[in-house]
Amino acid sequence: MRGQNSFKYESQKLASWYFTVAVILFGAQLLFGIFGAIQFIYPSFLYDILDFSITRIVHINALVVWMLYGIIGAIYYLLPDEAGIETVGIGIAKLFFWILTLAVTVVVLVYLFIQIGPGKASTIWLITEGREYLEAPRWADIGVVVVVLVFLANTFLTAIKGRRTGILTVILADMIALAGLYIAGMFYTDNISMDQYWWWWVIHLWVEATWEVLVGAMAAYALIKVVDANRQVVEMWLWIEVAMLFGSGILGLGHHYFWIGTPEYWWEIGALFSALEPLPLIGMFVHVLYDWGKEKGLKSASGEDITSNNTPVLIWLVINGFGNFLGAGVWGFFHTLPQVNIYTHGTQFTAAHGHLAFFGAYATILIAMFYMAVQGKHGIKKLRATFATKMSIFLLNFGMLGMTVALTIAGYEQVLIERAQLGATWNAYFVAQNQEWMSQAYNWRLIMGFVMVVGFIYLAKDLLTISKNPKNIY
């Protein structure tokens, strides 16, 4: 049965709005990434119109915002399904979607057209706070808090009234932590060490604790939906992951406190706990593959159809398991010990890790959720991968891996020449940047960026059209 809108709940329709904005911002992120990558090679590109400082801000803020839209969308999608009732206060939830989207648009227009302000408090309030990833001006910060409070009220009231599954309980607890941490990033102080100290609470504790917990919850939900995984087993994994993530992630925060003026005991704390961080990521990887394999085995033994009911979701889930482990776990572990980080800190190596981790851990699972919504929207029983699905999977992943390899080589060169050989002086930086290996790596990053853009076009096309091709659905 294929209607234009077969969502079971209004909340899922709202989720599809969030997903639509997320995909658009993902596209904008890639576009501004390309601008930034061109500026590395031709510094005069868009000079005085959109300087690198601006392209970079838009690139990484679009990243954070599209992922938040994806996360909120995913929760509005699974919430009524898990609770068994429509989201409480759905009308207000929809209104706040529009308020948030309007605010995001204003912030982006200000980034693009006003760009910078005088060194006064008014700039922090109206234009930008100038703090990496969280550049949004203060009025928008407060707005975000209000929107999130409404979101929390919606989710809590729904879960209290409806069925409270393990997945929902984990999400609810996690949302409080996620919202609370955002407030930690809103303190204002003139002391740069103190400012960084709190800023990392948002950046690190979001991506290495609270967002990872959400990934576990989304993977659990998706596994139940697409391969009919056993809820008890999936939820058991989820609890283990939550315990491990918080166990290592909270004190793992120390790996950002090595050189910002905090006491030296952070070297030991950061080294030990952040080195443990890959463990829960291995857990997630095993979780996805184990449950998929187990359910398949059980079904084939009883002669049932062993295909999943949504191949694109399943493929992206498996990529998420690999990507999270590689980008966050392996590339993170490489530079997390202070003995190594003293050389690699802030080099292209960091950028290599940042790219693969954000993509592998979050972009992948959110793309899986987008496909889930396509299936729900059109009431499709079984959704199969199309040519465009496969092309987008190949190009997005190949492009991202290629970019990571290029930046890793650049980082290696930078560490050897700028840091180890020449002692990290001002001059050493430029000597390293002018090496051929460095410029080759920057060229490859740009080429791989274009590969990703083509992959993104396939993805957008596929999300819009996959439901229309009768060959792909049952």
Q: How far is the CB of 255 from ligand HEM (least distance, A)?
A: 4
Partner whose footprint covers residue 354, from ligand HEM, Fe ion, none (CB < 5 to 8 Å by kind): ligand HEM
Nearer to ligand HEM, 63 or 148 (CB): 63
Residues 342-401 that bind ligand HEM (CB under 6 A): 345-346, 350-351, 353-355, 357-359, 361, 363
Q: Is 443 in the site for ligand HEM (CB under 6 A)?
A: no
Residues 265-294 that bind ligand HEM (CB under 6 A): 274, 277-278
Nearer to Fe ion, 13 or 255 (CB): 255
Nearer to Fe ion, 138 or 204 (CB): 204
Nearer to ligand HEM, 125 or 334 (CB): 334
Q: Is 413 in the site for ligand HEM (CB under 6 A)?
A: no
What is the maximum alpha-carbon separation in the chain? 71
Q: Which residue has the tokens 């294929």?
A: 2
Partner whose footprint covers residue 306, from ligand HEM, Fe ion, none (CB < 5 to 8 Å by kind): none
Partner whose footprint covers residue 351, from Fe ion, ligand HEM, none (CB < 5 to 8 Å by kind): ligand HEM
Residue type at 117 in one-letter notation: G
Q: How far is the CB of 338 from ligand HEM (least distance, A)?
A: 9
Partner whose footprint covers residue 35, from ligand HEM, Fe ion, none (CB < 5 to 8 Å by kind): none
Q: How far is the CB of 31 from Fe ion (least distance, A)?
A: 27
Pick the stretch among 173-181, 205-213, 283-291, 452-460 that binds Fe ion (CB under 5 A).
205-213
Q: Is 60 in the site for ligand HEM (CB under 6 A)?
A: yes
Partner whose footprint covers residue 432, from ligand HEM, Fe ion, none (CB < 5 to 8 Å by kind): none
Site string for Fe ion, 109-148 (x = CB under 5 A): ----------------------------------------
Task: Say how many C-beta atoms besides its own lie within 10 A of residue 363's C-beta.
Answer: 23
Q: How far is the CB of 192 from ligand HEM (least distance, A)?
A: 14
8 Å CB contact between 460 and 25: no
Pick the stretch among 32-40, 119-127, 156-164, 368-376 that binds ligand HEM (CB under 6 A).
32-40
3-state secondary structure the chain: CCCCCCCCCHHHHHHHHHHHHHHHHHHHHHHHHHHHHHHHHCCCCCCCCCCHHHHHHHHHHHHHHHHHHHHHHHHHHHHHHHHCCCCCCHHHHHHHHHHHHHHHHHHHHHHHHCCCCCCCHHHHHHCCCCCCCCCCCHHHHHHHHHHHHHHHHHHHHHHHHCCCCHHHHHHHHHHHHHHHHHHHCCCCCCCHHHHHHHHHHHHHHHHHHHHHHHHHHHHHHHHHHHHCCCHHHHHHHHHHHHHHHHHHHHHHHHHHCCCCCCCCHHHHHHHHHHHHCHHHHHHHHHHHHHHHHHHHHHHHHCCCCCCCCEHHHHHHHHHHHHHHHHHHHHHHHHCCCHHHHHHHCCCHHHHHHHHHHHHHHHHHHHHHHHHHHHHHHCCCCCECCCHHHHHHHHHHHHHHHHHHHHHHHHHHHHHHHHHHHCCCCHHHHHHHHCCHHHHHHHHHHHHHHHHHHHHHHHHHHHHHHHHHCHHHEC
CA distance 296 to 373: 23
Nearer to ligand HEM, 91 or 263 (CB): 263
Partner whose footprint covers residue 207, from ligand HEM, Fe ion, none (CB < 5 to 8 Å by kind): ligand HEM
Q: Is 179 in the site for ligand HEM (CB under 6 A)?
A: no
Nearer to ligand HEM, 88 or 357 (CB): 357
Q: Is 377 in the site for Fe ion (CB under 5 A)?
A: no
Q: Work out which of 13, 59, 138, 204 binds Fe ion, going by CB under 5 A.
A: 204
Q: Is 214 in the site for ligand HEM (CB under 6 A)?
A: no
Q: Is 34 in the site for ligand HEM (CB under 6 A)?
A: yes
CA distance 230 to 232: 6
Partner whose footprint covers residue 30, from Fe ion, ligand HEM, none (CB < 5 to 8 Å by kind): ligand HEM
Structure tokens at 36: 């930034």
CA distance 463 to 367: 10
Nearer to Fe ion, 290 or 333 (CB): 333
Partner whose footprint covers residue 299, from ligand HEM, Fe ion, none (CB < 5 to 8 Å by kind): none
CA distance 26 to 398: 17
Binding site for ligand HEM (CB under 6 A): 30, 33-34, 36-37, 40, 56, 59-60, 63, 132, 207-208, 255-256, 274, 277-278, 328-329, 332-333, 335-336, 341, 345-346, 350-351, 353-355, 357-359, 361, 363, 445, 449, 452-453
Binding site for Fe ion (CB under 5 A): 204, 208
